Amino acid sequence: MTGSARVAPKIAIATDSTADLHERINEAAKVSGRSMNAEIVQRLEASFPPDIESEMLRQRMAELANLQRSLQDIHTRLDAERTRLQRADPGSAEYRSVGERISVFQIRMETLTTLAASVQEDVERLIKARPVAN
């Protein structure tokens, strides 16, 4: 971890419960493979909406994955067009048409690469800002 990560302190919470609730938590913990404490914490955390930073991180990571898939698709299509260009007769309408498509794909790739770099920076910034659990 980097020195800029914040550590979220742990605080003990004492609570009273019925024997039935205690047994239900105990059984749920066994099924999930967690301790009773971890089961209670997980269930409490799940009952609150995600914090804005975590939601932003999730969304930006999904956006980055989509951009990477789009870039891969454009790269594949660009390779196919370059192959067509090599096979086309220079000076033909097909040669000009393929050349135009290659230009469009290159512009799209540059734009998406720039956008992906920006999203990657956001993801890294959001990760660094997250508190680290002890």
Say yes or no: 129 and 73 in one domain: yes
Q: Which range of residues forms the domain containing residue 36? A: 16-48
Task: Give the model's pLDDT for residue 3.
Answer: 47
pTM of this structure = 0.58
Q: What is the pLDDT of residues 55-112, one digit of tens each?
A: 889 899 999 999 999 999 999 999 999 999 999 999 999 999 999 999 999 999 999 9
- Decide: 128 and 4 in contact? Cβ < 8 Å: yes
Q: What is the pLDDT of residues 20-32, one digit of tens each?
A: 999 999 999 999 9
- Decide: 85 and 101 in contact? Cβ < 8 Å: no
Say yes or no: 54 and 43 in one domain: no
Task: Give the model's pLDDT for residue 104.
Answer: 96
